[in-house]
Structure 1
């Protein structure tokens, strides 16, 4: 896979070089990662086994939890292992694989969040046509399109980074391989490539966030005609979704919609959307959702 590069491996700088803090990072992020896998696994199994969670909203939540678990897995294990490792190296091929996987599952999460917002829009604004518009077949097609779109996006990102020549140094000032840190190491003018990165990842983040924002404004406006109980239930569901959207898109927009400059806070911001958000999503969707909690209790009892 190595193209235009004399570098065969990279060194990941990580979050810190302090030995004491590295042990703390190992313990904390191992706990976070295991909790992320457990939380998302519980949601996936509960939705799969439960007969009461058959609506399109939970169909999309199933794929959001799957994407969360995979997205966290692309970065967290490497961070955890490197925290106790003396040799924090990653091969060129592994680095390129990580770039592809991180952008694939991150983009998948964005598309699924849009599908969930669309589902709520149809349920609240067009309730009489809901079962027709959001049929099981339509939901499957939408998820397939999300997979295809994510693959196109991540392939484009990988194509851009494969064109970069690396001739040293090879120390990545990050805890995983991503485009912005790799652009800094390339021995060529990366201005044009950075514009392509911003127009790809940055545009997806901004446009998706604007679409979601508009959809929730329309939903809130349409709720004025609903009963008090209907408004309460719809607001509870939409609030959960909107919290997830803000937590995920805020850090992504900060990272991917600016020129090729780095800030000291970039690594911690990246931790928030690659590890923090996949951990918080199961908590947000279970603690605020009575149906999911009841389904989990039934599954546990059985």
Structure 2
């Protein structure tokens, strides 16, 4: 029998140490951003029914949760607020005493080194659950921008380090950048939800943030999941308008978009590992159908491999713990 000529790829996989040496992609604790939900009240901790292990916290208990987050080595959180009252214009989103503003002040006092990224939107603060001003059943783009600017400025005045506008109104980055600059906050970065699809994966989040729309849906401002070229147009617009980071949301079904944005635009790209992606793994793991740790690590690694620089994930504490354990 003549000698066969072929490549010996398995040579590089024969031991764990060798596989570690040649591993191309890794998730680090510094890559992780942990979403948290602040609610009104005291001594209150509500588990989100569709998101096992994810809670809404009153401010006194939120501070204890953030102590634990910091102890895990996580350096950044994405802060959402669930107000006690709502109105047509979402006034608690930009109130000096709004739940987000109070949470920022208290967390910054306890952990000045923690990077607080403030989600900047109106949906969880409006009675109708949409991300802008409503007139005759229509979301008014330009009038909504004024309220988003007020919200962003109030969050920074409270101590937010980064503004993360998630509303998908046209021109929201340009408006917020101008508003922050005019208010003396030229140094504050914008982490734009540049590519945000109208996704079925958001259902559990709407339980957590109490932000489901009371009529219609968000397809006139969030993107069609079938569109790829449109994602680049959206991201390039935000880049031109002054965004410092570009979020792709969701992440798992849109890794091609993460890759496209990273290879096209010279900005840090953030993959948002959304609530539905979290809940699917939790449900499957609870049934014994998946190994939770291995699945999460594979999934987050795929986001880094696709080009994400940072990952927003509800698994951040778990991932940080697993990384810490592997380093021991």
| Greater strand share, structure number | 2
| Greater helix share, structure number | 1
TM-score w.r.t. structure 1 length? Answer: 0.30
Which is bigger in relative contact order (C-alpha 8 A, separation at least 6)? 1
TM-score w.r.t. structure 2 length? Answer: 0.28
